[in-house]
Amino acid sequence: MITLNITNNWDLIDVDNGIGGRLNVMWLSPDGVGISTRDYSHMTILNMILEESKITDFWDIDYIKEHNVHDVIQLGKNKKDFKDNNLELAKLMESFMEETKFVRISGPYRDVEFGGGSYGHASKLLESRNFVYEYCEDLTEKQKQFIDKVINVYNLSDIEIQEVRHA
């Protein structure tokens, strides 16, 4: 059984609590519970969940710890086209998502963007409202409710939302 209630630097968010402020959701469980953190990579979170849950069916937990947590992990059929994409981790992540119905999320405040030269010697910080969610299997009703609430709370426009279904 997968457990998300792990003592560390992340918050568990559902539609009834925590959607607001500087939300940084990384994963969404089939039960509609989001994992929000600025401290860990997507793959590190999965590895921590599996380690705490004592699930070794997906990969060797200690081996994954040896990878660079900043490796690029792009999913989908064009994943080979992304520069420096860690294809091994991408394959493992996709198989996890297919099996468990977890949804990979970035945002809506995942990144910090820096303004260009027009701002002079000091770049202006702009917080990104971009909201990306990626999934392999159909979304559960609770996942749809969570995603809809994020979109409504942050009043996100269509150009700020990217939905990616990997088949």
> Exposure string (b/e) for 23-45, b if CB count within 10 Å is 16 or more?
bbbbbbbbebbbbbbeebbbbbb
Confidence at residue 76, expressed as pLDDT on a 0 to 100 scale: 77
Per-chain mean pLDDT for the chain: 82
Global pTM value: 0.83
Which tens digits make up the pLDDT trace of 64-81?
888 877 777 778 777 677
Confidence at residue 90, expressed as pLDDT on a 0 to 100 scale: 85
Domain residue limits, the chain = 11-165
Confidence at residue 116, expressed as pLDDT on a 0 to 100 scale: 43
> Which residues, listed in sequence order, are joined to residue 74 by a DSSP beta bridge?
none
In the structure encoding, which two tokens stand for residue 130, read together?
């971009």
Q: What is the mean pLDDT of residues 25-45?
A: 89
